[in-house]
Chains A and B, each alone.
Chain A
Amino acid sequence: KAGVTQTPRYLIKTRGQQVTLSCSPISGHRSVSWYQQTPGQGLQFLFEYFSETQRNKGNFPGRFSGRQFSNSRSEMNVSTLELGDSALYLCASSSGRGVARGTDTQYFGPGTRLTVL
């Protein structure tokens, strides 16, 4: 089975622009989560989707949004980019109904490295 794929792998944007990142989960997985990783804050939870519904959201401003399609692929969007949004954005998928289901291993993609200039 192919793993979690994320596109693009690298992005360079300028402040004020917006960006869309894409994540394709492992085939058959319906739960997709997004995390932001920075040297200062480590890995922080953004949001989780299951069957096209956002189940949970982390403590990020409304500039960060996401969605999930019927084929379980997910996108996240960041509007009005700030320098502090520079980070590695990681997507994870699992076969169960979400993070808090005991047995669900989270499988991570390689990430999208976003640099905001």
Chain B
Amino acid sequence: KQEVTQIPAALSVPEGENLVLNCSFTDSAIYNLQWFRQDPGKGLTSLLLIQSSQREQTSGRLNASLDKSSGRSTLYIAASQPGDSATYLCAGAGRRALTFGSGTRLQVQP
């Protein structure tokens, strides 16, 4: 059974700082790894999807990497802004469904 862990659970940084969010998974047989953002009380917004054959994906200030052999993915956010404050979730796509981590709650202080 796939288990996804995200560390840290919460993070507070000053505006402008670069930061890394971590995601680890136990079953390397994933089809892809997705990163989402969730604002309080809202649905999920897709940020990046890394296919199992890829090593990284970039979108603007976001860069996500995937290392299946070690069961790890990271989300790098460059030059953080207060608008980046949200909960970030990673999810591994298995044969049946997405398995989600519990998320990292990010607060960017102005």
Which chain B positions have C-beta within 8 A of A99?
31, 93-94, 96-98
Q: Which of A1-33 contact B (CB under 8 A)?
A: 4, 6, 33
A66 within 8 A of B: no
Which one of B97, B101, B103 contacts A48 once the chains associate, using CB atoms below 8 Å?
A: B97
Q: With A42-B102, A42-B103 known to touch, is A106 a contact of B34 (CB < 8 Å)?
A: yes
Q: Which of A22-65 contact B (CB under 8 A)?
A: 33, 35, 42-43, 45, 48, 56, 58
A48 to B53, CA, bound (A): 24
Residues B49 and A111 in contact, CB atoms below 8 Å apart: no
Residue of B nearest to A45 (CB): B97
Chain B interface residue count, Cβ-Cβ cutoff 8 angstroms: 27
Residues B98 and A45 in contact, CB atoms below 8 Å apart: yes
Residue of A nearest to B32 (CB): A102
Residues B51 and A103 in contact, CB atoms below 8 Å apart: yes
Residues B95 and A106 in contact, CB atoms below 8 Å apart: no
Which chain B positions have C-beta within 8 A of A101?
31
Among the listed stretches B18-26, B37-45, B63-71, B72-80, which one makes contact with chain A, having 4 or more residues with CB under 8 Å of it? B37-45
Chain A interface residue count, Cβ-Cβ cutoff 8 angstroms: 27
Q: With A42-B103, A110-B43, A113-B41 known to touch, is A103 a contact of B49 (CB < 8 Å)?
A: yes
A48 to B94, CA, bound (A): 13
Most chain B CB within a 10 A radius of its CB, from A56, A92, A99: A99
Chain A nearest Cβ from B106, distance in angstroms: 17
Which one of B41, B91, B96 contacts A56 once the chains associate, using CB atoms below 8 Å?
A: B96
Most chain A CB within a 10 A radius of its CB, from B32, B52, B102: B32
Which chain B positions have C-beta within 8 A of A105?
34, 46, 49
Q: With A100-B31, A102-B31 known to touch, is A108 a contact of B45 (CB < 8 Å)?
A: yes
Interface residues of A, Cβ cutoff 8 Å to B: 4, 6, 33, 35, 42-43, 45, 48, 56, 58, 88, 90, 92, 99-111, 113
Nearest 5 Cβ contacts at the A-B interface: A45-B97, A43-B100, A108-B44, A56-B96, A110-B43
Listed by A's residue number, 6 A-B pairs whose Cβ atoms lie within 8 Å are: A45-B97, A56-B97, A58-B97, A99-B94, A104-B32, A105-B49
